[in-house]
Amino acid sequence: MANFVEVSSSQQFEDLLKKAGKSLSVVHFYAPWAPQCTQMNDVMAELAQDQPQVTFIKLEAEGVPEVSEKYEISSVPTFLLFKSCEKVDRLDGAHAPELTKKVQKLASSVAPAKGAEPPKEDLNDRLKKLISAAPCMLFMKGSPQEPRCGFSRQIVQILKEHNVYVNGELLGGLDIIKEMAESGDLETTCPKAVTLEHRLKSIINKSPVMLFMKGNKEVAKCGFSRQIIELMNGSGVDYDTFDILQDEEVRQGLKTYSNWPTYPQLYVKGELIGGLDIVKELKESGDLQSVLKGEN
């Protein structure tokens, strides 16, 4: 698609914004190792078909660091929307409906190029994409936050109580869901979603020594993470890392779970030790190695 391109330099990025002029440009700051970025690239491709007058740009955040730093990109995926080379909106995270809404709103004031007609997508293909857009997809009046009829309100409540996932298969309407809930079949048909707390505990206990940071052992992506990696490597104790830039849910959720608002965060045998300052203090006192081994 001519209106969906990838850039590999700051000059190419600036040239594309200038070329777009007053038309909308949507920039996806992504990382090739992040699955949510791959999913959002598919969303961008679909939007590019629907909005041929809009320029859609993929930019690898780590590959063009000067642009990422200029616009304070600290996590992926992040989307910036431009008009006349000026940033007009921003979206952090993999939120396809919100991105679509922003693009439609900002693109609506831009007239399509003469003779340009959006390609028509086959209805069946579009429906399949919608059905598979999320593990649990409910077609209803309104949204889960604001149902707009009694039937929608009831089915949302049932699904919330049972906390289920459905993978692309039609279960039925309200009556069917009610029957399945009453008989107990709903929970056996649809496995329960993993709660965020359960997921955090699982990641924390993945290794006896677990470090949550920006980046990983090989490539630290901020100064604080770089410093703590040096201290950890010097201890001689084996440890594992989790890159919070890959997962916004973990990044935000762990701050609440641990009641520790910053990163990096170090855990030993499932217990929070602290951040960089604590690790520095342990190193200076000579206690770091014994704490990492779980002896203290």
Going by pLDDT thresholds of 50, 70 and 90, the confidence category of residue 170 is low
Distance in angstroms between the alpha carbons of the first and the last residue of the chain: 59
Q: Report pLDDT for 186.
A: 67
CA 5, CA 113: separation in Å to the nearest integer? 18
What whole-number distance in Å separates Cα of residue 253 and Cα of residue 197?
Answer: 8
CA distances 233 to 9, 70, 142, 213, 263, Å, are 34, 31, 52, 14, 18
Out of 22-26, 105-109, 137-141, 142-146, the most confident range is 22-26
* pLDDT for position 15: 94
Task: Say which amino acid occupies 197.
Answer: E
- Residues 51-109: tens digit of each pLDDT: 999 999 999 998 999 999 899 888 889 999 999 999 999 999 888 888 999 998 998 76
Model-level pTM? 0.41
How are beta strands 271-274 and 78-83 bridged, if at all? unpaired
Query: pLDDT for 102-138, tens place per residue?
Result: 998 998 764 444 444 555 567 777 777 766 665 566 7
Please name the residue ranges forming H helices in the chain.
Answer: 10-20, 35-50, 65-70, 96-107, 123-131, 150-162, 174-183, 185-189, 196-204, 223-235, 248-258, 276-285, 288-292
Per-residue buried b or exposed e for 70-88, using 16+ beta carbons within 10 Å of the residue's own CB: eeebbbbbbbbbbbeeeee
pLDDT value, residue 91? 93
